Structure 1
Amino acid sequence: MPISLRVFSIDKLSLSLYNFLIFRIIKLKIMKKVILPMIAIIVSFNVLAGSGGPDTFGYTWVDSNDPNGPTYSWIDITPFGKKIFGLGDDNVVGPFSVANNFLYYWYTLSEFYVGSNGYVSFGNINIASPFPSIPDSLDGKHNFVAGMMCDLNFTGSGNPGECFYVNLGDSLIVSWIDVPFWDQAAGYTGANSFQIIFRAQDRSITINYKDQTGLTQNNDITVGIENVSGNIGLQHSKDTYPISGYSIKYEYPANPSLLVTDGSANWNGNKRNGAIFLPYPSDSISLTTNIANLGNQDISPFTVTGFVRNSSGNIVVNSSINTLDTMTPGQDTTITFPNGFTSPAAGTYSYVTEVSGIANDASASNDSTIQEIISVDTSFANISLSYTDNMNESEISWAGGSGGIGVYFEPPYYPSKIVNTTFLISNNLSNSTFYAKIYDDDGFNGSPGTLLDSVFVDAGQINIGVKTTVQTANPVTVYNGGFYVMWDMNGPDIALAYDMTPPFSFRCYEVFNNIWAEYRDIESTDFFITAGIEKAIIDDIGVPQAGSPANGSTITAPVPVACWIKNYGQAAASNFMINYQMEGSTVVSESYAGTAIQPGDSAYFTFATQLAVNTDTTGNLCIWSEMLNDFDNSNDTTCITVTIDAPNVSVNELEAGNWKLEVFPNPSDGKFELRILNNEFKNGKVTVYNVLGEKIFQSALNNNQSTIDLKSHPKGTYILHLLVGDKAHIRKIITL
């Protein structure tokens, strides 16, 4: 899906970044808000014999029109292949396993991702319009095979597009079936069926084109392969439509002779290189980095330098490590620098890692990496979380007036209460509206999950050129992890501002039809979306100690279960659950609804349901609290060891001193006769419990014979408890 962008200023950029951005801007200018009628000549693959290459590594391609090329042969995997779900407009899904490790360039692939826009990648990268030429070492999107990389769309009512994959023999096959192009007016148009086949035996890559109809914006189509660093690749064609019944085969070099030495700084802090918010003042944080050998040659020990710069460019931390061991091809390692980072003041910092001292390093573009660190003064009651430098340098507006931008935040403290969000709207030519939404990160692998808040913002509430603040409609408190803030367009010609000055957060997403994807230019963009937070009151209830039964005790009859409850939080607490479970038995849950427990105080709680005595066992009796948004789960539970000595129930007659107890018939239909054979008996009490320890029957005994009627209770096993003076007698009885 195309976007409309405008670039305002680059006067703050360094010369090297300026050159990079000029390259990007030239590419972005071809993107149109409105698609013009296509009256240009449409170019299709040459029907004459074709071949190309080699690239620097030695890959060549040959097509089905060449006498030495492949014969077009479509493999239908739809009856038995695995359907790939979750593809939409401009997104990527995966990873999936490669059953037969496939040698691509000089490295082996074990997993892959599928892009909705017609490519297979070997990392989680989202490639969207405008599509790059191959190779391109500057765009941050490498390591892929572009079968028909163009603006395809799986969304929209009635869209026939599907995608399947299968590991079949020595081959991996990925097929796009009847996938249309994105279209601004209709949503989608045309249909394209093509597949990519990776054969492990000869290391070849074949692309089959079964059917192709329709046109895409600007005829923007790329076909080709690109390596992990982006400095080597072989493009088959650009801005050209494939013909039906056509094949291209990429052939692995017979004797690859390219020697590649390539050390890389992969990421800082976390695998996404994602920005972090650091509380100020705070303790020192460790500076970690991951480095890798992306070449096919061993790399002798080299130097890894890490330093942190403030927003003025001054270095506040500098540390380096000399690697001790040789790194083999494909190896990566995570290291921690000797010096940590303690923020000297609130502000934005750049944590940079550089590798150096590698002879004949093939790619300088991956020798360094940057993580953004934002130190926020947490002494203030309210703070704003933002990745931008407050300079509006460009804007984005999705064509068609639907779509959105999301930004991920991890707050500097917990619990954090989100009180507002802000958006810098730079244009609103059609007086459109939008929704401000907040999502939990409880989706798959930390993706957007539960919608926590949604606020409609009318055109009259929007401030053009300055920040529009939106108060949350519902209280949103974050106890761990993070959250996503989304700007959701609700009409055309409304534009959100963004910043192009490094460092960048790598926390931005594009959203269309509720499908989230990493923003296409995530390596050079941060959006003017801010979250306002404040410290939330902590709710924290726990069970520090059991009260009954005693730890290590032996139980022969149902006994009460009790515990101490402590309020570790900052607010009075009541109306929460307390539970216990004897190892191997069912959970007993009851509500504490007594007097509210004040912060720091404790209360003694006794369960109404006693601990049942059913089967001989020794195990843990655990008691725990359960409270919504409980801050610290580590103090919720206490456990003791208890031995249960169940009564012997194989006989129906029990002798005790000079008298006998009889219960008959047992089993019965629910009615039992109890008889005490002793003329001196005066009185007693009989109680019956179910297997959960709940009292279901109780009666006083004033003579030596009584009837127990359990017909109104479910069939099963019960425990009869007879108390005579200071002696207790227990019997298991069964109703059938």
Structure 2
Amino acid sequence: MRSRVFLSLLVVILTTGAAFAASGGPNAAGYTWDDSTYTYSWIDISGTGTLITLSDDNYAGPFNIGFDFPFYGGTQTQFYAGSNGFITFGAGSSDLSNDCPLNSTTPYNIIALYWDDMDAGDTSAPTYYQTFGVTPNQYTVIQFQNLCNYPGGVGCDDVTAEIILFENGEIVLQYSDPSTEAGSGATVGINNSDGSDPLTVGCNSAFLSAGYAVWIGVADGLFLSGPDALDGYPDSDVTYTMSVFNNTGSKGTVDIDCTGNTWDTVCPSSIVVADGAVGTFDVVVTIPDTASPGDFDTVDVEVDLGGYSDDMTLTTSASADWILSGSLPTIATQDNAAVSYDGYIYRVGGYTLSGSGTNTIERYSATKGTWSLMANSTHTMDYTVAAAALNDKIYVTAGGIDGSTATPTVLLFQIYDITANTWADHGNVPAGGTWGAAMVAYDGYIYLLGGANTPGGGNLNSVYRYDPTGDSWTAMANMTNTPAFFCAFAYDGDIYTVGGVAGSTPTASGYIYDIAGNSWSADPISLPQTLWGMACIQGGTEGELLAVAGGVDASSALFAGSYLRDLSAKGTWDLYGDLVTPVYRTAGAQLGDYAFVVNGSTGGFTPTNIFQYNLMEGIADDDDDDDDDNDDNDDNDDNDDNDTTDDDTGDDDDNDDNDDNDDNDTTDDDTGTDDDDNDDVTDDDNDSGGDDDDDDSGCGC
């Protein structure tokens, strides 16, 4: 074993206060923890360290560690201190809800000393840091002193503890006073940059005591990590990117052996990895075209170097459900629009993690499997972004322009020129809904449908048609209902609408607009359940396949599933598989043989950059068409939101203003819907936003 610098740096004062010796690990990166090998020795820096000012549910930083600190195969030079009892690398976090055990949710790159809902706002609860020693034996102490369990106040039950980071990558956590709760509501441990390889020392258990110390470090050896199971579609390749961490003490050639597989599998025979470094390699499994959903195959992957070895079994399954794409949009958004055109998907605008709209448009290439930022609009767009593609242009509206999301009175109309990569303002929509409208393209025209014109009320049944040639808007026959946050699709001379919120009630109903006859009728085929805020995707050789995915159901809960309908067969809405991650206020588009769901919220104002896809069986790639007809395929949706707020639910309550029913909503702050809003279409969230896109299919959501 390599020498641990801990003993040479700390003077033994007390033996550990733990009632019994315990240890755990290793995880995939080789980290283990041990509370018996090393003795507790408090390093008090309250009179010498640099003060870090924290308050309730916040973080500060970054602060210099003072040396290169190895962590999960990378090197960290700075840290952030969080008021809820942890430090992070790369980004700060104020998360107050501890994960037990640590898992794939944020915050990432964390060292959790005492992660709980704490209050560092009291002046008697300072945090300090200080670096000691000289290379290669430097160490930095981060000391949390008198950190109160929330809500704090005079005489609160407080914690005094510290993290010690050593230059060789070892970590020591020490507890002078773990409070009377002693960890019963807290988490202690570490996690990596994507939450895939945690090491939990303890959580939600009163295992801490005064004078307790725990060591965390990497054992000697070779450590293999990566996904152990992935899904794919028949006749496709599934790629596992594996990492091997070399902590053997010497640089060398790591031998790789893949065995036991039936399906065609390719992996390299070896890679060279320096000591203390991480090497990566791909294992590519081909799912045969004869595989049926549910079929699977396994391959055993083993790595060897200098007498050390590690192995994993990878399980590849043929899937009928949605799959998480390895390539994600660069910007996390909800309420964005997505359209497909000429072999690309375009993601437009949306509400971001910073709490504001974005003026970005980015393009996904299926050939390259990458997203690229295009020219920015001169306006930020959030909440109800709707878009449709037609004749090398993308037509965009948004209710929240340049931050005016509270009570917008106009719907700005912008045109993005795909060929020139430029934006142009094109006036305002005559009187369309500024919240949650849907947009589709068909036969040379753009159609804007429904929505609402005030937050929390004012739902519209209006339909407007835009003629790009004459640059003019024409009012068409009004819809039978007054939807927002719904889907719209154009196909074979008709526009189909479905779902959303009509009046103050979510609906599963659909309606059909006869374009030539300029008239509406009820669609006899409804969704199997009420939904709003879903992704809307249109595909097929002629735009005959319609899909809705995610959204919020009648109980105000996120809907994890999806439905598919074949208009050419006059079919019903059939189950179409479950999303990997349920989202709402999302967008969708079709590209080639696949349906894509782009970004969305997992609840409340929590935008993501999750990119999921599913096979739309029987589809030929129609993206290349430049036809105008149905260009809208794009599916997408923008949804929503009037809301201007609510913390947790996703939609906001704000709309409440005008709505009386806000309260009807049962919602919960966690589901993603808004509390109030279900109630009204206009509520924030109900919006459906649509956009569509393109090539032929026509979809607005």
Fold conserved (TM > 0.5)?
A: no
Question: Max radius of gyration: which structure?
Answer: 1
Which structure has more relative contact order (CA 8 Å, sep 6+)? It is 2
- The alignment's TM-score, normalised by the length of structure 2, stands at 0.36
- The alignment's TM-score, normalised by the length of structure 1, stands at 0.35
